[in-house]
Amino acid sequence: MSFSGARGNASQVHQLVGVRGLMSDPQGQMIYLPIQSNLHEGLSLTEYIISLYGARKGVVDTAVRTSDAGYLTRRLIEVVQHIIVGRTDCGTAWGIFGVQIHNRNIEIIARQITSKLLVSEDGLSNVFSPGELIGLLQAERIGRSLEEAICYRVILLGIARASLNTQSFISEVSFQEIARVLAKAALRGRINWLKGLKENVVLKG
């Protein structure tokens, strides 16, 4: 069991046939009342309750940290999901480790975070409503066609908001705010043209 490669170790064998030893409380502090029984013979009620603290804390910590790291990774991928590597396959299955991130890769994320503008209250255009987030190129293009200045200010979005402000609502619903995104898309009659990588992967297109 210890050397089978199934993430086992000698400590687990000790708890099965020896003694469980010292446990931790919900705050991670050591409980100075060792459990002298083992899992093979069985635990008393008091020993079982003491051992539950550490088991529950381990499960909760694993769930919380995994979800936070997972959502952060998905948000980072969503921010730069429009970038597709188009180079010829180099013929290897191994990645490159230990390299420094180039400045242009940081610039890609920074550009996505600063790619939206917030329409101000004193805007005279009937196209956008005050408080709406629009793209810089979109504002300039519509401003030239209307021959009317659109009042806006640059806003800095976080990774979560930048990933949710995409043109594809299918790409947006992959995050936690599923009901809000779908309801807003239905009310506005949004059409998804399936131009991005993420939505095509979701639909297996």
107 is written with which tokens?
A: 């610039």
Measured between alpha carbons, how far is 166 from 160 in angstroms, rounded to an integer?
Answer: 11
Measured between alpha carbons, how far is 109 from 76 in angstroms, rounded to an integer?
Answer: 8
Question: Is 143 part of a structural domain of the chain?
Answer: no
Question: Is 173 part of a structural domain of the chain?
Answer: yes
Question: Is 46 part of a structural domain of the chain?
Answer: yes
Structure pTM?
0.36
Question: Is 42 part of a structural domain of the chain?
Answer: yes
Question: Is 97 part of a structural domain of the chain?
Answer: no
Task: Tell me which of 121 and 32 has the higher pLDDT.
Answer: 32
Helix (H/G/I), strand (E/B), else coil: 168: coil
Token look-up 């990645």 returns: 95
Nearest to 170 by CA among 147, 145, 143, 191: 191
Per-residue pLDDT, 155? 80
Residue 23: which domain range?
A: 10-79
**Averaged over 20-32, what is the pLDDT?**
80
- pLDDT tens for 165-196 read 666 766 666 555 677 777 877 887 888 777 66
> Last residue of some domain: 55, 79, 103?
79
Measured between alpha carbons, how far is 25 from 51 in angstroms, rounded to an integer?
Answer: 9
Token look-up 């003491």 returns: 50
Q: What is the CATH number of the domain that holds 185?
A: 1.10.150.390
